[in-house]
């Protein structure tokens, strides 16, 4: 009978198997053999399913086959099982794994918060036609940016972004560079695209396209004239009207 308790137990089992695989089997000579585990799982499932369909003989045969293969796996994976048992008694190793897991959860939470802060700032600037230029570089020292401007190295917040792009501040005409989940620089000068653009595109869009043409960077632009939100990538620029699509795009960029 399936209930929530059974589902939780299955999840724990899958998690333990995954940890075992990543810690002791991945990138080893035994990795290819793991692919056979899926087939073994199918055989076990059929050995229980077939008797329900009144195929008792075939179900019994698959049951003994799965049992034999399961015992054989103990012999095949004997070195890995020894490592696993050693880990069970290694308190420091468990602490390191738990700490690494906590750090991953914390980083994921921080990146999600950064996405929401950027969206909040961009939506505000779009509504009030405040121009903005935000660069998500593949790497900062790629030699494309003409001038980095002022080093900020601060946590991403909507208040800080709105302050930087406020039209009375000295940094508002340049670009903000976001990397490693931080605002690294403000007032950066980007290379301008030399391609022929439509009349509606101004200097910010030319800078965004120029940066995307000469590097793998993705650049977010808020138009001062129209309030449109666009992303420049690989030498093309695309307007985004849906907040959900903007959020998905930012989540991918900050996940790098």
Express each pLDDT in 156-166 by its tens digit. Answer: 999 999 999 99
Is the pLDDT at 128 greater than 90? The verdict is yes
Q: Where in the chain is the domain with CATH 3.40.1700.10?
A: 113-254
pTM recorded for the entire structure: 0.60
Residue where the block lists tokens 């790497």: 139
pLDDT of residue 51: 83
**Regarding predicted confidence, which is higher, 38 or 122?**
122
Architecture of domain 113-254: 3-Layer(aba) Sandwich (3.40)
Residue 189: other Cβ atoms inside 10 A: 14
Q: What is the mean pLDDT of residues 97-111?
A: 67
CB neighbour list of residue 194: distance below 8 Å, 6 or more residues apart: 210
**Regarding predicted confidence, which is higher, 52 or 188?**
188
Q: What is the mean pLDDT of residues 104-110?
A: 69
pLDDT of residue 151: 93
Laid out side by side, the sheet with 229-233 consists of 150-155, 182-188, 175-179, 132-136, 218-222, 229-233, 236-240
Is the pLDDT at 37 greater than 80? The verdict is no
Q: What is the mean pLDDT of residues 223-245?
A: 92
pLDDT of residue 195: 77
Query: Could you report how far apart the first and last alpha carbons of the chain are, in Å?
Result: 42
Q: What is the mean pLDDT of residues 127-141?
A: 90
Can you read off the two tokens belonging to residue 221? 């632009």
With contact defined as beta carbons under 8 Å apart, do 186 and 218 qualify?
no
Is the pLDDT at 133 greater than 90? The verdict is yes
pLDDT of residue 29: 55
- Angstrom distance (rounded) from CA 104 to CA 63: 40
pLDDT of residue 104: 61
Confidence of residue 75 (pLDDT cuts 50, 70, 90): confident
Compute CA distances 42 → 8, 39, 63, whole Å: 21, 5, 11
Bridge partners (DSSP) of residue 154 are: 183
């Amino acid at each position: 009978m399936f209930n929530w308790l059974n589902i939780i137990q299955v999840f724990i089992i899958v998690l333990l198997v995954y940890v075992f695989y990543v810690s002791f089997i991945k990138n080893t000579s035994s990795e290819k053999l793991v692919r056979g585990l899926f087939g073994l799982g199918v055989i076990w499932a059929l050995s229980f399913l077939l008797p329900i369909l009144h195929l008792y003989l075939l179900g019994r045969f698959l049951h003994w086959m799965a049992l034999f293969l399961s015992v054989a796996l103990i012999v095949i994976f004997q070195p890995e099982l020894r490592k696993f048992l050693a880990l069970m008694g290694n308190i420091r190793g468990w602490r390191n794994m738990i700490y690494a897991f906590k750090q991953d959860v914390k980083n994921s939470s921080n990146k999600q918060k950064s996405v929401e802060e950027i969206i909040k700032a961009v939506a505000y600037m779009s509504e009030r036609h405040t121009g903005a230029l935000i660069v998500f570089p593949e790497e900062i020292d790629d030699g494309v940016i003409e001038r980095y401007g002022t080093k900020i190295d601060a946590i991403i917040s909507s208040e800080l972004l709105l302050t930087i792009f406020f039209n009375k501040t000295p940094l508002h005409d340049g670009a903000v560079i976001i990397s490693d989940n931080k605002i690294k620089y403000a007032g950066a000068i980007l290379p301008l695209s030399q391609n022929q653009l439509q009349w509606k595109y101004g200097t910010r869009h030319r800078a965004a396209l120029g940066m995307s043409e000469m590097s793998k960077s993705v650049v977010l632009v808020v138009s001062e004239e129209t309030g449109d939100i666009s992303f420049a990538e690989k030498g093309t620029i695309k307007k985004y009207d849906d907040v959900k699509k903007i959020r998905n795009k930012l989540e991918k960029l900050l996940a790098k």
